Amino acid sequence: MTLHASYDPDNIFAKILAGSMPSIKVYEDPVALAFMDVFPQSEGHVLVIPKQVEARNILDMPPDQLGPYMHRVQKVARAVDAGLSPDGLVLTQFNGAPAGQTVFHLHFHIIPRWTGIPMGRHAEGKMATSDQLEPLAKKIRAGFG
């Protein structure tokens, strides 16, 4: 998909927001939803998506909603840090298919990193199970303390 196209209300993240697709949530409020990436690049890989907006990418996000959304991205990143104690964090966001975007609803990846442990490639990993993701989600939820 190009950088400029219509929002598809049937994308997987819209379905997660609607409750018609499952997710392992770590945080939710009226502004954003954060959940475990089922194709993690690292243990504890979380996605943060805005709610109540049809934004395919950062260019589509209404400016008045961008600040509150980014506050939630930071809040979740802090919880990942507190809950998992990684050596570093990668925060990334893709805009358009040529840039690597695979789901066309604005989202940030929060990917914990540990020294000496390689990070998987975006959109190429093996699907994780709920049994693998839930213990990590529990630690991240505790990180909101």
Helix (H, G, I), strand (E, B) or coil at 77: helix
For residues 108 and 72, give the distance between their C-alpha atoms in angstroms, rounded to a whole number.
10
The pair of structure tokens assigned to 87 is: 């050596």
Burial class of 37 by CB neighbour count within 10 A (0 to 12, 13 to 18, 19+) = buried
Compute and round to an integer the Cα radius of gyration of the chain.
Answer: 14
**Active-site annotation holder among 105, 107, 109, 122:** 107
Report the amino acid identity of residue 77: A
Neighbouring CB atoms inside 10 A of 104's CB total 23
| Cβ–Cβ under 8 Å, residues 110 and 89 | yes
Task: Verify whether residue 4 is a known catalytic residue.
Answer: no
Any idea which residues carry the catalytic annotation? 107
